Structure 1
Amino acid sequence: MSNEVYMKGDITVVANEMKKLVNNKEMSDIKFMIGPNRKPVYAHRCILSTRCDVFRAMFSDQESKSDKNNKEIPFVLSDITPDIFLAVMEYIYTGCVSLTGKIAIDVLGSSIEYGLDELRKLCNQYLVENLSINNACDAMQAAVTYGQDDLRAESMCYIEENTQNVFKSKSFHEMSEEALSVVLQSDRLMMDEPDVIDCVREWATVNSVVMGKSMSEVARKVVYHLRIPLLTPEELHALEEETRKDKLLPVELISFAWKCHALQKGERGNPLTTRRAGTTMRESHKGMDVL
């Protein structure tokens, strides 16, 4: 009968020692040229191939080629910056990673690219624990881009609780059409609908200039999540006048809103006639019994 017992040492000590090997030219057997400026980063094949299937495949492909000098040729990775690559290397060597708000999202993207699931979890954890007014939209954008459901849920909760301030942040204007559409589908946004519409108009104005497209092109999907029937007839008339100038909203959305008012009824199951948590109750809502 075996009496073997697996005893764990202090992994922090090991991690600190292994970190000394990151980008250490001594005894390295591979070189990467990183970023547009081709910064050299030194590494060790045995460590990278053991810890990462992507690197293992990369090295196997190199070895399969007939030229014996292939191993002397550095790998050129121009689509990743040195700080991001070194963070990935730190994780591979030590099982730990040093993250900042500046690099966390890009490291998340690289973790997915290199199949490093534990690093992906660490990046998500960092982003969730450091959500703020200024970065909540960035976190949501990352969640949508990289398909991170937990990060998406946590970011959405933060945005819902801090809607007014988040929608005024710079990062709000930098959200993609897809990410903003996800946010606007929430019933829990703490903002009245005219203010939501104003913020979307500002977002569309900024992105129209950046992308060189009309506001209607930029926001063609986003506007279908604006709950225009929640406006009073007076507010709706003013919105219609603005729309004649900037063409932000399609005619059918305005028409649908007027129809709801004319019939004094919302459309059951349609989120466009559902009040958000921050919607101010209006006299015109009383007739729309499914709001």
Structure 2
Amino acid sequence: MEPPGLVVHGEAAPFSTALRSLLNNPQYSDVCFVVGQERQEVFAHRCLLACRCNFFQRLLGPKLGPGMPGPVVLSTVPVEAFLAVLEFLYTNSVRLRRRSAPVSFLFPLMGPVHPVPHTHSGLQRHVHLGPTHFHFCSQLCLEFVVKVLDVELVCEALQVAVTFGLGPLQERCIAFIEAHSQEALRTRGFLELSAPALLPLLRSDKLCVDEAELVLAARSWARVGAAVLERPVAEVAAPVVRELRLALLAPAELSALEEQNQQEPLIPVEQIVEAWKCHALRRGDAARGAPCRRRRGTLPREHHCFLDLPFK
């Protein structure tokens, strides 16, 4: 058997630079995308996209025939995000910047797949890209977001993680918020969280924030949601307020909360009653529906010595 030949590797940097020069370059391009609300033209090369991505292989396959096909319209994808994907396809690397590529721009490619077939040459095709087609890019974006995570970004990143089912990113975001709870709760991103994204936070024992502050943050969150959705505050808050640990509040705080709740309903009356039951019976397990576990940031109160569910 003839021995295998010697493989000679050229330098990677010049090769990558040469391919990067083709990025969004109309020279030799044979496909055009119309991207974003700005309808910006982005030029690409069918053979390169097809060999790098199965989705583009199906979208730009031989059935289109020779010549320049009609533009592919990606109206819901921000230009920055699409160019980042192309850069990765062309060079196997991508330069992401914190301000030019916010989290909400890095994952919008992962939406429902609804390619609209064209029937005549030259017609535009409107396409929405799907999650499985850009798994390689989503992993890259995940690494980028984790590296630049900060207080202002973390709630936005958490929302993206919940929306697209990115478990590792969700875990990192929750851990970050647990360590910087008070700062994160004051951000605009917190107020814009969806109920499914807020729930895992309110269920955490490791939040470094007192329950009184958490109740105030939940009320602010519900007010913003009520204004946006044009629904009552109590209705917006309903999916999450059960996770507030009212039994941790002192009697005076609970009375003040009850009075405020009468003016602006936020918490179901029966939930407040359950918290009072803990105080009356001096047992943390007396009200099964009222969590009594102390969080990492819970400030000590006199009645806490009667709570028999210690901090974990």
Taking structure 1 as the reference length, what is the TM-score of the superposition? Answer: 0.91
Supply the distance in 2 between the matched residues of 1:78 and 1:230 (Cα, whole angstroms). Answer: 49
Cross-structure match for 1:54: 55
Match of 2:86 among 78, 85, 89: 89
| Amino acid corresponding to residue 117 of structure 1 in structure 2 | H
Q: Is 1:140 the equivalent of 2:158?
A: yes
Q: Is 1:108 the equivalent of 2:126?
A: no
1:95-244 superposed matches below 5 A: 95-102=92-99, 103-105=101-103, 106-110=105-109, 113=131, 115-244=133-262
Structure 1 residues 117 and 7, CA, compared in 2 at 3 Å: closer, same or farther?
Answer: farther
Supply the distance in 1 between the matched residues of 2:192 and 2:13 (Cα, whole angstroms). Answer: 39
Bigger drift between 191-200 and 82-91 goes to: 82-91
Supply the distance in 2 between the matched residues of 1:107 and 1:92 (Cα, whole angstroms). Answer: 15
Aligned pair count reads 287
RMSD after superposition: 2.2
Q: Which structure shows the higher helix fraction?
A: 1
Taking structure 2 as the reference length, what is the TM-score of the superposition? Answer: 0.85
The offset of 1:242, in angstroms, is 0.8
Supply the distance in 2 between the matched residues of 1:264 and 1:205 (Cα, whole angstroms). Answer: 33
Structure 1 residues 240 and 7, CA, compared in 2 at 3 Å: closer, same or farther?
Answer: farther
The offset of 1:109, in angstroms, is 3.8
Q: Show structure 2 runs of 5+ residues with no match.
A: 111-129
- Percent of matched pairs sharing the same residue: 34
The offset of 1:154, in angstroms, is 1.3
Q: Show structure 1 runs of 5+ residues with no match.
A: none
Per-residue Cα deviation, 1:222-271 (whole angstroms, up to 9, x for no partner): 11111111111111111111111111111121121112222211239978
Per-residue Cα deviation, 1:110-151 (whole angstroms, up to 9, x for no partner): 266362333222211111111111111111111111111111
SS at match of 1:32: strand
Structure 1 residues 2 and 108, CA, compared in 2 at 3 Å: closer, same or farther?
Answer: farther
1:35-74 superposed matches below 5 A: 35-60=36-61, 63=63, 72-74=69-71
Supply the distance in 1 between the matched residues of 2:266 and 2:39 (Cα, whole angstroms). Answer: 44
Retained in 2: the 8 A contact 1:140–1:152?
A: yes
| Amino acid corresponding to residue 43 of structure 2 in structure 1 | Y
Cross-structure match for 2:17: 16
Retained in 2: the 8 A contact 1:22–1:42?
A: yes
Retained in 2: the 8 A contact 1:88–1:110?
A: no
Supply the distance in 1 between the matched residues of 2:243 and 2:11 (Cα, whole angstroms). Answer: 52
